[in-house]
Amino acid sequence: MKAYAFDYVRAATLVEALSLLERAGEGGKLIAGGQSLVPALNLRLLAPQILIDIAQLPELRGITSDDTHIHLGAGTRHAELATSALVGQHVPLLQTAIRHVAHAAIRNRGTLGGNLAHADPASELPACMIALEATMLVVGPKGERRIDAIDFFKGLYETALEADDILVRISIARSPAETRVHFNELARRAGDYAMAGLAMVMHGTQPQGLRIRPVFFGIGDRPTLASHAARCLEQAADPMAGLAAAQQALSQDLSPQEDLQADADTRMQLARVLLKRGLTDLLAQGRG
Amino acid sequence: MGKHVITLMVNGESHRLEIEPRAHLADVLRDELALTGTHIGCEHGVCGACTIRVDGAITRACLLLAVQAEGAVIETIEGLSDSGEIGDLQDAFRHRNALQCGYCTPAMLITAQDLLLHNPNPDRATIRDHISGNYCRCTGYQAIVDAVETVAKARQTAGERA
């Protein structure tokens, strides 16, 4: 199908983009890589009056790090994340996850910020952001503010961004060497949206004092931190001894939906399988 | 909602075009420049039939508005055919019957060439993974993977001799 007609303007700076967005009001929509937006336009699911292109804003570019954090410009393309040495060294979870995001041709244009702002519940990167306790730097007409990833994703395609906000940068604490990460998803075909997926981070080395963050995606209307299950794993004598209880506790954490790909019971079962595989992998990494 | 004037560099030639912002690049290449080797299947980024190169990176032409491509360097199957860059892949596809209706073939060739440029010695699983975003409804992929594997080996051998 062909998109409804709309107007288009390319912003050169963040200040200009904010002012264009404010002036456009309800009819304005930001475009960066467009890899989720253009399909929605072509399918006539969206009908903006004007697209404001922020792909070339210098303020949204670049991957940098300081002593404690790595900072990812919202305009960073998936392909750049996949090959960045800084990302590989300090947030390896993202490079494992990025291989599951769509296909090469889409990773060449899709951006991190666009992916997060789109907030598809089956998307890989929002779950990683919650697992990694990322902070989003957002700029709006009233100035800057920072939003924790756990508060950023509000529901189906819904975030804490207001209509006149722009997501500028994502900051993530550099993972210490002993932090272990795991990523896995179950999809019917490589690159397809997952029926269920898991991003998991484990801090610490001792059986007691471990901090575990399992975040599921493709289950429910947003990526979900399975905090009841995490507590079962953290409070057990050793995490594997807590697995059965954690798998049971997932029914308190997750509200699986039913769709053409899988029914709710199947999704809950997949989540339990993913948790077991994830924990097994994390513990095996420690022995390596 | 007026038309926009843009300049596109396509297969080494500069074109000045007056287009609607809603026109995606696949439509513009086909309708304005008569470059019909870029095929349109699903128009929402799933089938891969419209894959082209933009600034050297493979891209879905149906997911890129032509206005976004202003100033970019675009290469289509016509450009890659004329330059001879993928002549060996085209031969291998023909010899191995790696196409039947041919609808997916231009994009499949561009995607295969993208893999071989980045990874000259891919195994079959890697080939399958890289073409996983390109649908073929005729061949069952086996012959396509064979053809790409054959070309990878032939280029390796040629490289060693050189």
**B121-160 per-position pLDDT tens digit:** 999 999 999 999 999 999 999 999 999 999 999 999 998 8
Residue A133's nearest CA partner among A172, A97, A76 is: A172
A193-207, B73-87, B109-123: the lowest-pLDDT one: A193-207
End of a domain among B80, B101, B135?
A: B80
**Same structural domain for residues B76 and B97?**
no
* Alpha carbons B110 and B46: distance in angstroms, whole number: 16
φ, ψ dihedrals at A199, nearest 5°: -115, 130
Give the residues across from A51 on adjacent strands.
A8, A29
Name every chain B residue with its beta carbon within 8 A of the beta carbon of A41: 22
For residue A145, the model assigns a pLDDT of 98
Answer yes or no: do A39 and B57 touch at CB < 8 A. no
Q: Torsions phi, psi of B28, nearest 5?
A: -65, -45
Tell me, yes or no, whether B41 and B107 share the same domain: no
With CA atoms as reference, report the closest residue to A195 among A203, A187, A205.
Answer: A187
- Does B134 lie in the same domain as B102? yes
What class has domain A7-53? Answer: alpha beta
Burial B114-150 (b: 16+ CB within 10 A, else e): bbbeeeeebeeebbbbbbbbbbbebbebebbbbbbbb
Contacts (Cβ under 8 Å, ≥6 apart) of A206: none
Do the Cβ atoms of A164 and A140 come closer than 8 Å? Answer: yes
Spatial contact of A285 and A247, defined as CB atoms under 8 Å apart: no
Residues B147, B90 within the same domain? yes
**Which of A219, A218, A247, A251 is CA-nearest to residue A232?**
A247
Indicate if B132 and B65 belong to the same structural domain.
Answer: no
Domain final residue pick, B55, B80, B105: B80
Q: Provide the domain count of chain B.
A: 2
> Which CATH superfamily includes the segment(s) A180-287?
CO dehydrogenase flavoprotein, C-terminal domain (3.30.390.50)
> Residues A65-120: pLDDT tens digits?
999 999 999 999 999 999 999 999 999 999 999 999 999 999 999 999 999 999 99
CB contact under 8 A, A38 and B21: no
CB contact under 8 A, A102 and B57: no
Pairing of strands A50-53, A7-10: parallel
Q: Smallest Cβ distance to B45: which of A8, A35, A53?
A: A35
State CA A234 to chain mean position distance.
Answer: 24
Q: Is A19 on the interface with B (CB under 8 A)?
A: no
CA distance A25 to A164: 8
The answer to whether residue A9 neighbours chain B at the CB level (below 8 Å) is no
Q: What is the mean pLDDT of residues B29-52?
A: 97
- Give contacts of A 162-221 with B, CB under 8 A: 189-191
Return the residue matching tokens 């039947």: B100
Res. A288: pLDDT tops 70: no
Q: Which residues of B touch A (CB under 8 A)?
A: 1-2, 4, 20-22, 24, 27, 43-45, 48, 51, 54, 57-60, 62-65, 67-68, 70, 111, 114, 128-130, 132-133
DSSP 8-class letter at B2 = -
Rg (CA), chain B: 16
Q: State in Å, rounded, how far the first CA of chain B is from the last one.
A: 56
For residues B65 and B35, membership in a common domain is answered with: yes
CB within 8 Å: A2 and B64: no
Which pair of tokens denotes residue B147?
């053809």
* CATH (domain of B152): 1.10.150.120
Contact A38 B132 (CB under 8 A): no
Check whether residue B48 and residue B69 sit in a common domain: yes
pLDDT of residue B73: 97
CATH number of the domain at A58-173, out of 1.10.390.10, 3.30.465.10, 3.40.50.300, 3.10.450.50?
3.30.465.10
Q: Quick check: A270 and A174 in contact, CB under 8 A?
A: no
Q: Is the confidence at residue B52, as pLDDT, over 90?
A: yes
Are the Cβ atoms of A191 and B24 closer than 8 angstroms?
Answer: no
* Domain residue spans of chain A: 7-53, 58-173, 180-287
Domain that includes residue B110, residue range:
86-161
Which residue type does B20 have? E
* Rounded-to-integer distance, Cα B107 and Cα A105, Å: 11
Please enumerate in sequence order all residues whose Cβ is within 8 A of that of B157, keeping only pairs 6 or more positions apart, or say none. Answer: none
User: Between chains, do A6 and B51 touch, taking CB under 8 Å as contact?
Assistant: no
Residue of chain A with shortest Cα separation from B5: A8
* pLDDT per residue as tens digits for the range A237-286: 889 999 999 999 999 999 999 998 899 999 999 999 999 999 999 999 97
Look-up: residue for tokens 């390796």? B156
DSSP summary character for residue B136: -
| Strand-pair category, B13-19 with A158-159 | unpaired
The answer to whether the Cβ–Cβ distance between A104 and B22 falls below 8 Å is no
Residue A287 has pLDDT above 70, yes or no: no
Q: Which residue in the set A43, A104, A190 is minimally distant from B44, CB to CB?
A: A43
Inform me whether the pLDDT recorded for B1 exceeds 80. no
Q: Pick from B34, B55, B80: which residue ends a domain?
A: B80
- Say which of B4, B59, B132 has its CB closest to residue A190: B132
Q: Are residues B73 and B133 in the same domain?
A: no
